[in-house]
Amino acid sequence: MKLVIGLGNPGKKYENTRHNVGWLILDKIAGKKTGWQESKKSNCFYLKEKINHQEIELIKPLTFMNNSGQTVAHIQKKHNIKNENIIVIHDDLDLPLGTIRLKLDGSSGGHNGLQSIIDHLKTDKFIRLKIGIANDQRNIIPAEKFVLQKFNQEEKKALEKIIIKSVDILNEIINKKEVKEKTFYL
C-alpha cells in the first residue's frame, strides 16, 4: 500500500488557499467520488483507491498544517508502511507557480508541515511532490500571510494545469519501482 498525503488546513477559511494545494490535488485524484471518510483516531479524512492494481490511501490530515506529522506517523504505524511508500504533496514558497519538484528526501526548507512529518517519522526519507506557489508578491507579503491567500483568477487557470500535471506525476510514481528526482515547469 502507498500513502498519498496532501497537506493543508481544515475549514472553510482555508479552502482554495496556497497552503491547501495538497488537498486540491487529492480532490482531483478522487474526482467525483464522495467517499471521503473521517478517522477520529488518525485525525484525517481518507479515501482508499486502486490505481493500476495498487492500493493507495489518500490522506488529508485534520491536525492543521504544523502538526501533520502526528497523522502521518499514526497511519504509517497502523498500516506498517515503508517510508519509500509515503508520498507527501505540499506547497513550496520558494518555487514559482507553475513549477513542480519531485524530491526523495531532504530538509523541510522551512515548511512547518513537512518538518512535523520529518520529526514524527524520525527521517527525511520519503517522497515529496513540491508545488510552487510563489508569485511577484511573495517577497512583499510575510510568508505566514502569503500562504493563506487564495489564488487570483489568472493563477487559477495555471493551477488547473498544475493539478492535472501533478496527478500525472503521481500516477507515474505509483506505477514505477524506481523514482528519480525531477523538476517540471509548466
- Name the one residue in this structure whose C-alpha cell is 494545494: 21
- For the cut 90, the answer to whether the pLDDT of residue 175 exceeds it is no
3-state secondary structure of 122: coil
pLDDT at residue 50, as a whole number = 84
Residues known to be catalytic:
19
Give me the architecture of the 2-185 domain, per CATH. Answer: 3-Layer(aba) Sandwich (3.40)
pLDDT at residue 52, as a whole number = 74
Cell of 30: 478522487
pLDDT at residue 184, as a whole number = 97
Cell of 133: 506557489
pLDDT by residue (tens digit) across 135-169? 999 999 999 999 999 999 999 999 999 999 999 99
**Phi and psi torsions of 117, nearest 5°:** -65, -45
Q: How confident is the prediction for the chain on average, in pLDDT?
A: 94
- CA–CA distance, 163 with 158 (Å, rounded to integer): 9
pLDDT by residue (tens digit) across 16-46? 999 999 999 999 988 866 789 999 999 999 9
pLDDT at residue 44, as a whole number = 97
